[in-house]
Structure 1
Amino acid sequence: MQVTETLSEGLKHEFKISVPASDLDAKADARLVDLKDKVRLNGFRPGKVPVSHLKKVYGRSVMAETIDQTIRDTNTQIFTERGFRLATEPKITMPTEKNEVDDLLTGKSDLTYTVAIEVVPPIQLADFKSFNVEKPVADVTDADIDEAIKRIADQNRSYADKGEGAKAESGDRVTINFKGTIDGKPFEGGTSEKIPVVIGSNTFIPGFEEQLNGIAAGETRTLKVSFPKNYANATLAGQPAEFETTATLIEAPQAVEINDEFAKTLGLESLDKLKQAMRERLTAEFAAATRQRVKRALLDRLDEAHKFEAPPSLVDEEFNLMWNSIKAEMDSSGKTFADENTTEEAAKEEYRKIADRRVRLGLVLSEIGEKNKITVTDDEVGRAVIERARQVPGREKEIWDYYRNNAHALAQIRAPIYEDKVVDFILELANVTENKVSREELFKEDDEKSAA
């Protein structure tokens, strides 16, 4: 076997490999001998089929299997000897001309192919004991609990008829009948009756609810809107439409008294029990926010401490996933890069930096986990799947079967568990200092990111 490295540029390598036909023949003959005791052919007793006859019958297929196995074994040997850790699947180039393939499968020519790879660079891990990480912690106050319960009360409030001649305002519930048309023609699903709409709830097509402001019961208006470009129904996506809309009832939201009776409507014994349940829920939410802030700070520290060239193909793949998502979101919202005070070129540059960071951090976390033998057990994955299934009552078995039969989906469950275990490992070594903050400070960064 002859191996020649034809390219070595950064993380990219390419090799030309030549395996003598005699070596392939020997391996193929060995497979045929092994096959001799397993096949059953008419006219021959078990185990008595001559290898020469087997070669006539199965020679090409056995040689094809031999070539495939030889390529895998040879590549593994090349990569292992050089200490390569592959970033992507090897790209193998084989002879394609019919006469070349025939000569190869009949043992008349040597196997010559090229393999191109991209590797992960050696990663020198930082000393995690030198890391200083701040852990923001906020206490759940009585005011937080009261505010959360008020939000629940607002979501569960009743509505009452505003009376004859009353006009709808933001927050009112308007019951409507409507007939939708596109270019003057009705479309499927565009007509309905007795549909309640809360103005300002943003549950209808953008621009629909706002045009109901000031409408009175019995009044008919033509509302002009456009379906979002990413609308579920592709035939309607992006289309301008008109809805002839008649209001049949205008109702105002009623005040909700927060007391024991209200708590009972939510399935709890008393207001005290509701407050206790809300404290537990908010405590969990605050803890999750704290965890997210600590994790983000730790990832920033890891990013600072590990600067190396990320495999370009992995960065390209991550960038394309993000960019396609960003473009789809902008198309659906009708926004442009100018609306975001940037240009497409500047945005691409920024997201490519983010993609590079994500790839490098992923490789660093993987390296930490591998060197410290951090693993995710099947039980841990199973519990995560069960938790996912519980979030969809009535479809538990469907969700369970989906993950059980979908390796890619199961990997998406396993990945964040692995990441969190690596993060916990680092935090055990790092210097973590608690810092008391207010609720507003704890959630401030997330709120700003949501607004961006």
Structure 2
Amino acid sequence: MNVKVEDISSVKKQLSFEVPAARVDEEIESAYKDLAKTAKIKGFRQGKVPRPVLERHYAASVESQVVERLVSDSYFKALKDEKILAVSGPEITDGGILEKGKAYTFLVQVEVQPEVAAKDYLELPLKKETFKDDETLVGARLEEMRLGNAKVETTDREEAQSGDTVIIDFEGFINGVAFENGAAENHSLDLGSNSFIPGFEEQLAGMKLGEEGEVTVTFPLDYGKKDLAGQDATFKVTIKEIKEKVLPELDDEFAAQVGLASLEDLRTRIKESHESQERSRIEQEFREQLLDVLIERNTFEVPDSMIKSQLDHMLENLSNRMQSQGMSLEAMGMTPDSFMELYREIAVKQVKGNLILEAIALQESVQIEESEIEEKLDEIAEKHNASKEMVMNFYADESKRRGLVAQLAEEKVIYFLTGKANVEMVDESIAGEAEQGNDKE
């Protein structure tokens, strides 16, 4: 077999193959011998069908089978011999013609992993936000929990106000004519929830129980029903019942409802949870900034197949999360195609970032020791409240273990780069002021 390799781009190669006539004849003979053992043709006993009859009935099938075998064997042998790291399946651009006694030629194009030689990755100019403890957030979270545990009770107030739940009858009109599906009775609405047409809820605040009032709104231009989008409408509304939220007291009894001994324990739990989330956010933003700088300093082409693979992975993760919450992509008004379009740039960045980090790991001889893997497995078991044995069984799968090692290597490289970078610690409020300054410009 002769093969010629040409670069179409930095991430795509063309392979020109010529399979010798002797190999072609050998494969054709082998295919017909195998076929002769099983072929069933009326008038002939199985295994006794003459070759000319087989050729008359099965020539196209045999040709397809032989071509598939020749292409597959030649292609994978070439990848190994030429040390080509393919990241896509082969695309046959010229299949050639299979003829007995003649060499078989064909052309294949394949995308390959880019060769990345990372540069300028030391002494990166980076900023990192300093974590600040904020007691006001603890209080805000406690209020959220109170609201979540509030009881809704009918009030003797005659006038509705924001935060109330009202039971209403309403009917909508456009140019004085009632429109389809624009009326309802005994409809429950939380004032301030912004779950109705913009401007509707605000006008109910101050309206009195039992009195018919009038509300004027404009349907948004992107409203789901096209015939109503952008239209001015008037609603006649009657409040039939006013309910208010009765919040529980913030005390030890309230803390006991979430399984804690005291209110102080609850405050501590909220504070620790907030700190953990904030530190994770800060680290993630720092990582994103680090990758942005690396990508800016290292330009290279990325094959479409790697981007597509990353998008598929992202879509699968999102779909699984949404399914666990009883939601779907369609419920968000998205399709797989619109998701791919929306998140393509993010996928490109993730692929480039991973390739650069892999290159740095190779250039800096970053190794992952078995002890580091064991430590990570212990950490995963503790985080998910699982046994070490269960976690080890999960990562016994070779592909999952490779993924874990790759994750550890990435963490190690980022730690290395951070230690070599020029990191300026910034205050959150200062960062906010800087953004405001940019907006003014």
TM range (shorter): 0.5 to 0.7
Whether the 8 Å contact between 1:180 and 1:191 is mirrored in structure 2 is yes
Q: Distance in 1 between matches of 2:191 and 2:39?
A: 77
Show the counterpart of 2:319: none
Pairing 1:196–2:188 present: yes
Show the counterpart of 2:69: 69
Q: Distance in 2 between matches of 1:444 and 1:293?
A: 18
Instruction: Within 5 Å, give how 1:54-133 maps onto structure 2.
Output: 58-86=58-86, 88-94=88-94, 104=98, 107=100, 111-126=104-119
Amino acid at match of 1:429: F
Q: Distance in 1 between matches of 2:238 and 2:15?
A: 73
Q: Unpaired runs of 5+ in structure 1?
A: 323-331, 333-347, 388-410
Q: Which of 168, 180, 186 lines up with 2:180 in the alignment? A: 186
Instruction: Within 5 Å, give how 1:255-274 maps onto structure 2.
Output: 256-274=248-266
Q: Which whole-Å deviations, capped at 9, do the CAs of 1:353-395 have from their partners, x for residues lacking one?
A: 87754442243345567996889x9x99xx89x98xxxxxxxx
Show the counterpart of 1:150: 143
Q: Could you say if the C-alpha distance between residues 358 and 273 of structure 1 is closer, same or farther in structure 2, counting changes exceeding 3 Å?
A: closer
Amino acid at match of 1:186: E
Q: Which whole-Å deviations, capped at 9, do the CAs of 1:136-191 have from their partners, x for residues lacking one?
A: 5526455442332123224434456564542x34333332234568984424xx65
Cα distance, 1:275 vs structure 2: 1.8
Whether the 8 Å contact between 2:129 and 2:427 is mirrored in structure 1 is no
Cα distance, 1:111 vs structure 2: 4.1
Whether the 8 Å contact between 2:198 and 2:217 is mirrored in structure 1 is no
Cα distance, 1:424 vs structure 2: 1.0
TM-score by length of 2: 0.62
Whether the 8 Å contact between 2:197 and 2:219 is mirrored in structure 1 is yes
Cα distance, 1:223 vs structure 2: 5.2
Pairing 1:214–2:214 present: no
Count the aligned residue pairs: 378
Whether the 8 Å contact between 2:10 and 2:114 is mirrored in structure 1 is no
Q: Distance in 1 between matches of 2:114 and 2:104?
A: 30
Q: Could you say if the C-alpha distance between residues 4 and 151 of structure 1 is closer, same or farther in structure 2, counting changes exceeding 3 Å?
A: same
Q: Secondary structure at the match of 2:8?
A: strand
Q: Tell me the C-alpha RMSD between the 2 structures.
A: 5.4
Show the counterpart of 2:411: 424
Q: Could you say if the C-alpha distance between residues 129 and 169 of structure 1 is closer, same or farther in structure 2, counting changes exceeding 3 Å?
A: same
Q: Distance in 1 between matches of 2:355 and 2:123?
A: 20
Amino acid at match of 1:300: D
Q: Could you say if the C-alpha distance between residues 77 and 294 of structure 1 is closer, same or farther in structure 2, counting changes exceeding 3 Å?
A: same
Q: Distance in 1 between matches of 2:68 and 2:434?
A: 53
Pairing 1:247–2:239 present: yes
Q: Which whole-Å deviations, capped at 9, do the CAs of 1:222-254 have from their partners, x for residues lacking one?
A: 5545367485xx888958595654322334555
Whether the 8 Å contact between 1:180 and 1:241 is mirrored in structure 2 is no
Q: Distance in 1 between matches of 2:405 and 2:191?
A: 44
Show the counterpart of 2:168: 176
Cα distance, 1:71 vs structure 2: 1.9
Q: Could you say if the C-alpha distance between residues 30 and 443 of structure 1 is closer, same or farther in structure 2, counting changes exceeding 3 Å?
A: farther
Q: Which of 296, 300, 325 lines up with 2:288 in the alignment? A: 296
Q: Which of 258, 265, 280 lines up with 2:272 in the alignment? A: 280
With 438-447 and 80-89 compared, the bigger mean Cα shift is at: 438-447
Cα distance, 1:124 vs structure 2: 0.9
Q: Could you say if the C-alpha distance between residues 84 and 278 of structure 1 is closer, same or farther in structure 2, counting changes exceeding 3 Å?
A: same
Q: Secondary structure at the match of 2:188?
A: strand
TM-score by length of 1: 0.61
Report the identity percentage: 24
Q: Secondary structure at the match of 1:177?
A: strand
Show the counterpart of 1:28: 28
Show the counterpart of 2:355: 363
Cα distance, 1:130 vs structure 2: 5.9
Q: Distance in 1 between matches of 2:27 and 2:168?
A: 78
Cα distance, 1:92 vs structure 2: 2.0
Amino acid at match of 1:195: H
Q: Could you say if the C-alpha distance between residues 270 and 72 of structure 1 is closer, same or farther in structure 2, counting changes exceeding 3 Å?
A: same
Q: Unpaired runs of 5+ in structure 2?
A: 315-332, 334-340, 385-398
Q: Distance in 2 between matches of 1:447 and 1:250?
A: 42
Q: Distance in 2 between matches of 1:92 and 1:138?
A: 55
Q: Which whole-Å deviations, capped at 9, do the CAs of 1:392-440 have from their partners, x for residues lacking one?
A: xxxxxxxxxxxxxxxxxxx9x9999787544312134334499887776
Q: Distance in 2 between matches of 1:78 and 1:53?
A: 36
Show the counterpart of 1:395: none
Q: Distance in 1 between matches of 2:352 and 2:52?
A: 55
Cα distance, 1:211 vs structure 2: 4.0
Q: Distance in 1 between matches of 2:302 and 2:52?
A: 52
With 212-221 and 64-73 compared, the bigger mean Cα shift is at: 212-221
Cα distance, 1:67 vs structure 2: 0.8
Q: Could you say if the C-alpha distance between residues 57 and 181 of structure 1 is closer, same or farther in structure 2, counting changes exceeding 3 Å?
A: farther
Q: Distance in 2 between matches of 1:50 and 1:237?
A: 75
Q: Distance in 2 between matches of 1:372 and 1:30?
A: 50
Q: Could you say if the C-alpha distance between residues 414 and 304 of structure 1 is closer, same or farther in structure 2, counting changes exceeding 3 Å?
A: farther
Q: Distance in 2 between matches of 1:414 and 1:207?
A: 54
Q: Secondary structure at the match of 2:276?
A: helix
Q: Could you say if the C-alpha distance between residues 431 and 94 of structure 1 is closer, same or farther in structure 2, counting changes exceeding 3 Å?
A: closer
Cα distance, 1:299 vs structure 2: 1.6
Amino acid at match of 1:423: E
Cα distance, 1:109 vs structure 2: 6.8
Whether the 8 Å contact between 1:177 and 1:194 is mirrored in structure 2 is yes
